[in-house]
Amino acid sequence: MQARRRWGGVIAAAALAVAGGASAQTVKVGVVLPFTGVGAEFGQQVDRGMQMYLKLNAGAFAPYKVELVRRDSKNPSGAEAKTAVQELIAQEKVDLLAGFIYSPDAIASAPLATAAKKPMVIMNAGTAWITNLSPMISRVSFSMWHAGHAMGEAAANSLKAKTAVVGYTDYPPGKDSLDAFKRGFETAGGSVVDAIPMGGPGQVPDFTPFFQRAKDKKPDVFFVFVPAGDHAVSVMKTYAALGMREAGIKLVGPGDITQDIKLQSMGKDAVGLITAHHYNADLDNAANRRLVAAWKQEYGADSTPDFMAVQGYDGMAAIAHVVRTLGGRIDAEGAMKALKGWKYDSPRGPISIDPATRDIVMNEYLSELVLKDGRLVQKNIGVIEAVKDMCKELKAGKCAQ
Amino acid sequence: MDLASILLGGLAAGMVLFVVSVGLSVTMGLMGFVNLAHGGFAMLGGYAVVLAMRHWGLPFGAALALGFVAVALVAALLERTLYARLYRASELDQVLFTIGLVFVMVAGVTLTVGPETQGVQLPPWLRGQTDLGFLKYRTYSLALIAFGVLLMAALWLGFERTRIGAQIRAAVDNRRMAESMGVNVRRLFTLTFALGSGLAAAGGGLGAEILGLDPQYPLRYLAYFLIVVAVGGLGRVSGVFFAALALGVLDFVLKVHFPKGGTMFIYALTIAFLLARPQGLFGKRA
């Protein structure tokens, strides 16, 4: 007994020593975002979101340390992101990968994460089937189906629309958005009478001919998916200039087209626009009020967090959870196990990671743009709670694989 | 399908193509200089308009005039210092030089202004819809069409009724004969180059609302400008006018009916047309 107790003491001491060593452990996170090029603004929003999490949750990683190793993914083609991931794994020996604004970036990087067994936390890239590409992927952002399917249901049920035309930017998330809206709308009794591909994501096209075609079909709603940013501003202008509102056609879309950082530049033309999305800076909850206030203090009164910033914020929260759960030593199986079923009280409301798909479960908010004190504000007009990625839920198209 | 609104939409885009391309046609006809950087001057004009309105609060019309003058001066300077060295060079050298100039312009604008698309804030009277009696249509498109027609008339008068116009026509038709009659073709060229680039700049500003404006602009629309010039015929203002309108309308109609890949037909039609009439719409057979 004596001897055993003594041995027990030694083991306990050894365990303490290991734990003590681990407390100095630094977890390296490779962050792949576009810091230059067309997506530079988006990269900055996600990066700032990650910073804000660290600032507002100072003790989240204690007693461990986190080091962010940033790499520029430049163009949306996926090629540069893949090179960056390769370098982060082989040279920097990071423990986790994070970021990924554009779907091609995540798609190109997924096989590397699988081969090197590096957990990959996706902070934007919304093509639905991306999570099926690697067991190492978990997504804290959204799938195009979240907003698309919800908007389809809402257009039929809340807006009482019978017919719809869909206009979409011709690349994977655009086609996803089309499929999602169509499924949601037609299941709820509506009918999509036309689908118009409107050029690629690289450049903003002249939307006039596409919108003219949509107008001639006289639908109740016109669902538009274009990449967030400059495309969206141009969509509003063309919608107003062609008099589609006067023709009784409601413009609806996922919240990409009302990204908070671009909202005020859309002008009065945008009033009345209805979107479904998982976040806007006008959401009224304690976590969001805290984030918005701290954000404006840090980056200026005219700045604002947006859905991308919150995805960066929540991504850091997920990583902090993994690091604490695993005691600072990241292994792939342990990390993925920790992420599955993780719950968090985010500025976008309650979120969790679906253990079956490693994709996010969250609320979808239906908002209408209104003018308040000369500023465009997103007024909450409805919420669908705990929405899963319906693409994988319904096993639609490529999501079935 | 609403035929009238499709026609108006296409005509408006065609007018922008006309304003931008007409200078290219005349300068290529005059000196045979292959200037692929022409769209770059249109882009610079567009940025001058947008930035002058944003930072100095100039009204739209004044900003357009400023863009015209500023780019015309820059073009004249570049013509004297750079282009003039390559008049006797081979066409390949000219193409390499001007496409290089385009890349410099693209990178310069990306560096100083940024990669994002720039929007023009139109004055209130150009926004919204105008009732034409039989249909309501986008006011700005109607204004563009009116402006294009006026410009066409002014250019026609300038070419047909002024001494300089006569000199340009003479030099386009037979440069050596014109020179031996005492026409200073080099000076004429500098003048038309500056004016043509200035017009391109105005086109860049006018078209920003419709064609967009970002650093890739000169490369994206280069093929269209060249099609207009090739189909219209070198140095032929009226040819450029009708070619630009035809291209604008055709492009619009194809995008409405075949949104995916409809523009492919434009290139096929251009090839077919040029095989049948290599000198262009109104060009004289060489």
pLDDT at A7 over 70: no
A264 and chain B: CB distance < 8 Å anywhere? no
pLDDT at A8 over 60: no
User: What is the value of ipTM here, to two decimals?
Assistant: 0.74
Q: What CATH number does residue A212 fall under?
A: 3.40.50.2300
Out of A37, A203, A209, name the one closest to residue B220 (CB): A203
Handedness of CA B135, B139, B141, B145 (dihedral sign): positive
A256, A216: one domain: yes
Task: Provide the pLDDT for residue B71.
Answer: 96
The number of distinct structural domains making up chain A is: 2
A132, A176: one domain: no
A249, A385: one domain: yes
Kindly give the parts of chain B with pLDDT less than 70: 1, 262, 283-286
Out of B1, B116, B140, name the one closest to residue A241 (CB): B140
List pLDDT tens digits, range A252-283: 999 988 989 888 878 788 899 999 999 999 99
For residues A120-141, give the mean pLDDT: 95
Contact predicate B221/B39, CB 8 Å: yes
List pLDDT tens digits, range A93-126: 999 999 999 999 999 999 999 999 999 999 999 9
> Chain A, 28-67: which have a CB under 8 Å from a chain B CB?
37-38, 40-41
Q: Which residue of B has its CA nearest to A230?
A: B117
Please indicate, yes or no, if residue A8 is contained in any of the structural domains. Answer: no
> What is chain A's mean pLDDT, rounded?
90
A119, A162: one domain: no
Architecture, CATH, for domain B3-131+140-276: Orthogonal Bundle (1.10)
Taking CB atoms and an 8 Å limit, are B136 and A198 in contact across chains? no
Provide the shortest C-alpha distance from residue B114 to chain A (in Å): 9
For residues A46-62, give the mean pLDDT: 94
**How far apart, in whole angstroms, are the C-alpha atoms of residue B91 and residue A303?**
51
Distances (CA, A) of B259 to A49, B214, B271: 38, 22, 21
pLDDT at A22 over 70: no
B182 and chain A: CB distance < 8 Å anywhere? no
**How far apart, in whole angstroms, are the C-alpha atoms of residue B56 and residue B71?**
18
For residues A186-207, give the mean pLDDT: 89
Please indicate, yes or no, if residue A177 is contained in any of the structural domains. Answer: yes
List pLDDT tens digits, range A309-340: 999 999 999 999 999 999 999 999 999 999 99
A268, A151: one domain: yes
Taking CB atoms and an 8 Å limit, are B1 and A216 in contact across chains? yes
Taking CB atoms and an 8 Å limit, are B259 and A197 in contact across chains? yes
Provide the shortest C-alpha distance from residue B69 to chain A (in Å): 27
Contact predicate A194/A181, CB 8 Å: no
For residues A357-365, give the mean pLDDT: 96
For tokens 């630094």, name the residue: A26
A177, A248: one domain: yes
Task: Provide the pLDDT for residue B285.
Answer: 55
Q: Taking the CB of residue A243, how many other CB atoms lie within 10 A of it?
A: 16
A367, A354: one domain: no
B127 and chain A: CB distance < 8 Å anywhere? yes
Domain ranges of chain B: 3-131+140-276
Taking CB atoms and an 8 Å limit, are A206 and B220 in contact across chains? no
Enumerate the residues of chain A whose CB falls inside 8 A of the CB of residue B208: none
**Domain that includes residue A187, residue range:** 145-277+363-400
A108, A173: one domain: no
A231, A372: one domain: yes
Which residues, listed in sequence order, are joined to residue A168 by a DSSP beta bridge? A197, A225
**How far apart, in whole angstroms, are the C-alpha atoms of residue A207 and residue A204?**
8
A240 and chain B: CB distance < 8 Å anywhere? yes
Out of B1, B6, B259, name the one closest to residue A196 (CB): B259
Please indicate, yes or no, if residue A155 is contained in any of the structural domains. Answer: yes
Q: Taking the CB of residue A95, how many other CB atoms lie within 10 A of it?
A: 25
A60, A73: one domain: yes
A246, A122: one domain: no
A253, A374: one domain: yes
For residues A248-254, give the mean pLDDT: 94
- Cβ partners under 8 Å of residue A39, min gap 6: A33, A73, A76, A101, A102
Provide the shortest C-alpha distance from residue A263 to chain B (in Å): 14
Please indicate, yes or no, if residue A2 is contained in any of the structural domains. Answer: no
A122 and chain B: CB distance < 8 Å anywhere? no
